Amino acid sequence: MAAKMWYVEPAMQTGLSTMGGEAFKEIYGHFFSPRMIFTGKIGATALSMLVAFMRERRKAFILSDTVVERHAKSVAKDFQEASFQTMVWNESAPEPPISLVKKCADAMTKFEPDLIVAVGGGSTIDLAKAAWILYELPGYDLRTVSPLIPMGLRKKALLAAYPTTSGTGSEVTWASVLTDDSVTPPMKIEVSSAEIVPDFAVLVPEFTVGMPPKITAGTGLDALAHSVDSYLTSYDTDICDALAIKSIELVFKFLPRAYKTPDDMEARYRMQLAATIAGLAFGNSQAALTHSLGHAVGKVFGIHHGIAVGIFIPYSIQYYARASKKYVQLAQKIGIEAKDEAECLEKLVDRFKQFLLSFEIPYALKEHGITKERWDKNLAAVAKYASEDACTAASPRPTSIIDIKKMLEYAYEGKDIDF
């Protein structure tokens, strides 16, 4: 029987809820980030030169997929010019299953790198993090990785991340989202440890220009969901709040431009910043219901991750509002004026709904090709997966599986949350 993820244990879920309380925040805090974040093509070259002084063997294992392999080869060239031996492994896949993680780790073991470089979207970076664990610790059960148990990484290699999308923020976070394909339907799991925060993040906006509009919108909505949840979660901090608001401002301003004009380099650069800033925000607070619900729905029904979590932004805000009035501050920060809290909530939710519609993304799940028969057949499993997701414990409102199922039913129909 496979080990349970640490955050599914009842005692841990209770502890996570307690850690989100105000009293706990006064006695404990943390902020994790890479050693350095580089921007631009010159920044990419600077990293290769810097790491050359840090590593003895100078062997770089570069992960990618066939879609962005050209960028991986460009990065390989930078490292080769810094006297690195390189290997480009192009077998990454979306939402990587554990079996693929093991295959990637085997390739690392044969090459014996002292630097691992992920060039790709969030899935590629997450794959690199997980495979790095198995490279450093052969045979380790990824389901037992816990932020409370030291692993002792970095004895063999460091990790660098070059994101080619602008959404996940994985280049600066301590999580790796994988697929457990040993269950039916497959379930997303989150491997989390401060040790898997990449050592270096490199933002090259040119690497994101090839994203089609739908992926541009989806990844941008992922960054938006990260920031909204970070701001409203029970784990919020003043540092994360400031980062979250900045990211939200950038997404509202520059995502429409990047969507409509793919070669708008200012928009691409600002969206990369927005995603990374959002990553720093939620990576040090927590994503909440947008992600637990989006993870489950996206995986079971095949909806793009960013679109799935984006759809749940308005529903989550409405659900949180019964327990926290912080949505009023969020509305004020993004320029919404209202005569009372009710109008404020209505306008805030409408702002996010209209933003979704501006990218031709309906906020009712039934409009995403999910038949009622298929929905009803999978609803119980989706609710279970969402309730066991690590992000659910960060909701500012205590959340039962009954509430989760009800939220899912409302989202399917596109109804406002009224409970």
Overall average pLDDT of the 298-312 stretch = 97
CB atoms within 10 A of CB 391: 24
- Contact between residue 59 and residue 111 where contact means Cβ atoms under 8 Å apart: yes
Rounded CA separation 121/110 (Å): 25
Q: What is the DSSP letter of 174?
A: S
Average the pLDDT over 341-359 and give the result. Answer: 99
How far apart are alpha carbons 412 and 300 in whole angstroms?
14
Q: At 30, list the tokens.
A: 């943390």
Rounded-to-integer distance, Cα 343 and Cα 350, Å:
10
Residue where the block lists tokens 């409408």:
350
Q: What is the DSSP letter of 369?
A: T
* Chain segment 240-283, per-residue pLDDT in tens: 999 999 999 999 999 999 999 999 999 999 999 999 999 999 99
Cβ neighbours of residue 172 closer than 8 Å, sequence gap 6 or more:
33, 34, 37, 197, 198, 201, 276, 279, 280, 283
* Top CATH class, 6-28+211-413: mainly alpha
Residue 303: per-residue pLDDT: 97
Distance CA 219, CA 304 (A): 9
Note the pLDDT tens digit of each residue in 178-232. Answer: 998 888 888 888 999 999 999 999 999 999 998 999 999 999 999 999 999 999 9
pLDDT of residue 21: 59
Omega cis (within 30) before 185: yes
Transcribe 247-297 into DSSP letters: HHHHHHHHHHHHHH-TT-HHHHHHHHHHHHHHHHHHTSS---HHHHHHHHH
97 has which bridge partners? 179
Q: What is the mean pLDDT of residues 332-341?
A: 97
Residue 39's Cα: distance from chain center in Å? 20
Is the dihedral angle over the CA atoms 394, 398, 400, 406 positive or is it negative? negative
Tokens of 91: 């077998």
**Hey, is 340 helix, strand or coil?**
coil
CA–CA distance, 41 with 344 (Å, rounded to integer): 43
Q: What are the boundaries of each domain within the chain? A: 6-28+211-413, 36-208
Cβ-contact 417, 289 below 8 angstroms: no
Dist. CA 65–CA 400, nearest whole Å: 39
Higher pLDDT, 60 or 180: 60
CA distance 213 to 360: 11
- What is the tens place of the pLDDT at every residue in 3-51? 666 556 665 555 555 555 565 565 557 899 999 999 977 777 788 888 8
Q: Which residues contact 93 (CB under 8 A, 6 or more apart)?
A: 65, 100, 123, 127
Does residue 403 have a pLDDT over 60? yes
Residue carrying structure tokens 């038949």: 371
Beta bridge partners of 201: 37, 161
Tokens of 219: 């990844």
In this prediction, residues 336-364 reach a mean pLDDT of: 98
pLDDT score recorded for residue 210: 86
Confidence of residue 1 (pLDDT cuts 50, 70, 90): very low
Instruction: Evaluate whether 291 touches 230 at the Cβ level (below 8 Å).
Output: no
What is residue 359's three-state secondary structure? coil
User: Two tokens at 301?
Assistant: 């029904």
Q: How much of the chain, in percent, has pLDDT values that exceed 70?
A: 93
Q: d(Cα 220, Cα 320) in Å, to the nearest integer?
A: 22
Q: What is the mean predicted confidence (pLDDT) over 385-413? A: 96
Rounded CA-CA distance 64/89 in Å is 6
- Residue whose structure tokens are 């810094």: 82
Residue 20's pLDDT is 58
Backbone angles phi, psi at 148, to 5 degrees: -95, -10
CATH architecture under which domain 36-208 falls: 3-Layer(aba) Sandwich (3.40)
The mean pLDDT of the chain is 93
d(CA 324, CA 334): 18
> Is the pLDDT reported for residue 376 higher than 70?
yes
The proportion of the chain whose per-residue pLDDT surpasses 90, expressed as a percent, equals: 83
Tell me the per-residue pLDDT of 95-107, one tens digit each, with 9 for 90 and over.
Answer: 999 999 999 999 9
Q: Which pLDDT band, with edges at 50, 70 and 90, does 409 fall under?
A: very high
Whether pTM exceeds 0.75: yes
Cα–Cα distance, 175 to 130 (Å, whole number): 9
**Quick one: pLDDT at residue 49?**
80
